[in-house]
Amino acid sequence: MENIKEMIAYQTGSVVSKEVLRKKAGTITLFAFDKGQGLSEHTAPFDAVVYAVEGEATITINGKSHELKEGEMIIMPANKAHAVNAVTKFKMMLTMMRD
């Protein structure tokens, strides 16, 4: 058993990712964003769930912004443009579900 917050560390001025599980059905990846860092707008062919482990971020899906705080989650639908921007230092768990 591991503490999610301790499984990945922040790096100054960067986004760090760590894949923790890869299966045919999908992946689970941890991310640590320094304040002000993010992932630019992109699409993915599968539904994904973002769970906020620590901090706060703005998640934009199809041009609509959502504030995500520690303990909250949001679903990013397949083939919809989305982006992540860390308002504070931010850790998230991304679960990608394949068809």
pLDDT mean by block of 10 residues, the chain; 99 residues: 94 98 96 98 95 98 97 97 98 93
Phi, psi of 66 (to 5 degrees): -130, 130
Taking the mean position of all CA atoms in its chain, how far away is CA 66? 13
Give residue 98's pLDDT: 87
Give residue 88's pLDDT: 98
pTM of the model: 0.94
DSSP-assigned states of every residue in 45-97? SSEEEEEEEESEEEEEETTEEEEEETT-EEEE-TT--EEEEESSSEEEEEEEE
Structural domains of the chain in order of their starting residue, each with its CATH number: 19-97 (2.60.120.10)
Give residue 1's pLDDT: 85
